[in-house]
Amino acid sequence: GAVVSQHPSRVICKSGTSVKIECRSLDFQATTMFWYRQFPKQSLMLMATSNEGSKATYEQGVEKDKFLINHASLTLSTLTVTSAHPEDSSFYICSARAGTPGETQYFGPGTRLLVL
Amino acid sequence: GENVEQHPSTLSVQEGDSAVIKCTYSDSASNYFPWYKQELGKRPQLIIDIRSNVGEKKDQRIAVTLNKTAKHFSLHITETQPEDSAVYFCASRRALTFGSGTRLQVQP
């Protein structure tokens, strides 16, 4: 199956700093990428949807100025958590989809963020 | 937006028994329903999916049924094994609205 990578796998940062997470589709072109956040023992919550070359669409309640998403190419999307705070500590997972809506989404391995 | 409800939240079965997890969805326009298995600290893995033009799909020990009229779909795992122990999520819609998850524990 298709491979999606994420980097870094885990990051620890100080409160107030910014953290960038990369999501790459390694063997297919991802027209759409999704960013999810998962708190311990909870489900995945969609944060935003990004299409290559256009602005991301954020879900209700997700601050677009805090969670900056860039989908500059068909194989790379980045999520930047700006001015991170301890409550932003979570498991962030991206997924990528190649074709029209309904095509399988492939998930990255996730990035565990800990903000001290 | 889409609302997906999943039951039960936890399920414990004996090895060899069957396990059934159910989900309901709210958007009648949804036409794609995948099931994911997630082990602790790892990414969700697609185990089976179904599209709205069929009522049932089977892959070895795993099957999914869909009732569009009632807007619910179910995951069936037969002959459960300890390695089936994980959290299972149903999802709906193109951007994947996830259910709350079911923690399945298979007792050897």
Contacts of A41 (CB under 8 A, 6+ apart): none
The answer to whether B100 contacts A43, with C-beta atoms less than 8 Å apart, is yes
Residues of A in contact with B95 (CB under 8 A): 34, 46, 49
For residue range B73-84, what is the model confidence (pLDDT) as tens digits? 999 999 999 999
Lowest mean pLDDT of A46-55, A70-79, A95-104, name the range.
A95-104
CA distance A32 to chain B (A): 10
Contact A79, A66 (CB under 8 A): no
Residue A102 confidence (pLDDT): 59
The DSSP output letter for A87 is G
The answer to whether A49 contacts B51, with C-beta atoms less than 8 Å apart, is no
Nearest Cα residue to A11 out of A111, A116, A78: A111
Beta bridge partners of B32: B51
Q: Is B93 a residue whose pLDDT tops 90?
A: no
CA distance A15 to chain B (A): 23
The answer to whether B96 contacts A93, with C-beta atoms less than 8 Å apart, is no
What residues of B are in the A interface, CB distance below 8 Å?
Answer: 1, 31-32, 34, 36, 41-46, 49, 51, 89, 94-101
Contact A78, A7 (CB under 8 A): no
Contact B71, B26 (CB under 8 A): yes
For residue range A24-72, what is the model confidence (pLDDT) as tens digits? 999 888 888 999 999 988 888 999 999 888 889 999 999 999 999 998 8
Nearest Cα residue to B75 out of B107, B40, B102, B45: B102
In this complex, the residue of B31, B43, B95 whose CB is nearest that of residue A107 is: B43
In this complex, the residue of B32, B34, B98 whose CB is nearest that of residue A43 is: B98
Q: Which chain A residue's Cα is nearest to B6?
A: A43
DSSP A9-72: SEEEE-TT--EEEEEEESSS--SEEEEEEE-TTS-EEEEEEEETTSPPEEPTT--TTTEEEEEE
The answer for A 26-85 residues in CB contact with B (under 8 A) is 34, 42-46, 49, 60
For residue range B23-79, what is the model confidence (pLDDT) as tens digits? 999 988 888 899 999 998 889 999 999 988 889 999 999 999 999 999 999 999 999
Residue B12 confidence (pLDDT): 96
